[in-house]
Structure 1
């Protein structure tokens, strides 16, 4: 591959869900955090943001202003592929093929779960930054589903209030 680095930076419940059964992440707002959980530093380190269509639509329900306007933004969507709006370009197809076409070097994989699965299948995630929330949802949208094993290397553990942030990288090939 090229020198492009894809990072999954995402909050997840203790039992592995990124949203409740209705797709809501409101449960995250009820938890005490210290600072911004490293978000600003991470955000400043990326030049490209990629997400699925459902995640993109949810962004607009969470904020009045588009939070990624300083970045190149791509949205994977089968229904709007090869189009754009004022905030993002809509793309589809193979993750590896898409990565080969973009200029960005540091890519943030925002979500959702379906797009994370595509990137995992292609082994295209270099860094996993999982911010674990002290909530057991019991059901919802899981971050990971059954797939082949992916061995990772723990790089860092940081506490942000009630959140624990785990950073993993790929194991180096021997």
Structure 2
């Protein structure tokens, strides 16, 4: 069984997205549109995100063909937690989940097989994985940007006795931090 990893980019002051759920701030940073491949979870076999992240992708890639989704996810399915009906772009392997994260864990682990589960966002969804005792690692690539407000990185209190630093490095204009959750 693989790990459940929250791997994301954040502003310096801890926001995943701005008030409109946009990541335009990230793409304005040199290297933001094409991240260093070592920053992406190589062992992830499925991707998991919340509805806001998925809706942003739908808006950003509006009219995109299956190739755009394939370039992003590869052969990995994308699982979206939502309580609403949302469209699925042609050729994209998107699967919807409703309800409690803990109840969905068997489905996610079965789909992931021996691979890792990559939690893309949002922060509250990741917090639900933490609350369920199912978050193994938090990796944040910090961008040299601040926002006055937006979607917080992880709206939960997690004390230092639960986090062990396993990586800290510079990648271009970004700072990479990774913690094991215990």
Under TM normalisation by the shorter chain, which class is it? Answer: 0.7 to 0.9
Task: Give the structure 2 partner of residue 11 of structure 1.
Answer: 9
- Paired with 2:81 and 2:32, the residues of 1 have a C-alpha distance of 32
- Paired with 2:53 and 2:106, the residues of 1 have a C-alpha distance of 23
Of 87-96 and 126-135, more deviation after overlay is shown by: 87-96
Q: CA deviation at 1:54?
A: 1.6
Task: State how many pairs are aligned.
Answer: 168
Q: CA deviation at 1:43?
A: 4.3
- Paired with 1:90 and 1:140, the residues of 2 have a C-alpha distance of 25
- Paired with 1:141 and 1:24, the residues of 2 have a C-alpha distance of 10
Does the alignment pair 1:71 with 2:76? yes
CA contact (8 A) 1:34 1:161 kept: no
- Paired with 1:99 and 1:130, the residues of 2 have a C-alpha distance of 23
Matching residue within 134, 150, 162 for 2:144 = 134
Q: Which structure features the higher share of helix residues?
A: 2
CA displacement, residues 36-93 of structure 1 (integer Å, 9 cap, x when unaligned): 5444673432101111112112123334311214102211011239x97742110112
Q: Name segments (4+ residues, structure 1) moved above 6 Å.
A: none
- Paired with 1:37 and 1:160, the residues of 2 have a C-alpha distance of 9
- Paired with 2:9 and 2:37, the residues of 1 have a C-alpha distance of 11
Q: TM-score, normalised by structure 1?
A: 0.84
Task: Give the structure 2 partner of residue 98 of structure 1.
Answer: 104
Unaligned runs of 5+ in 2: none
- Paired with 1:6 and 1:140, the residues of 2 have a C-alpha distance of 25
Task: Give the structure 2 partner of residue 145 of structure 1.
Answer: 155
Let me know the Cα RMSD of the aligned residues: 2.5
Pairing of 1:82-97 with structure 2 (within 5 A): 86-97=92-103
Task: Give the structure 2 partner of residue 165 of structure 1.
Answer: 176
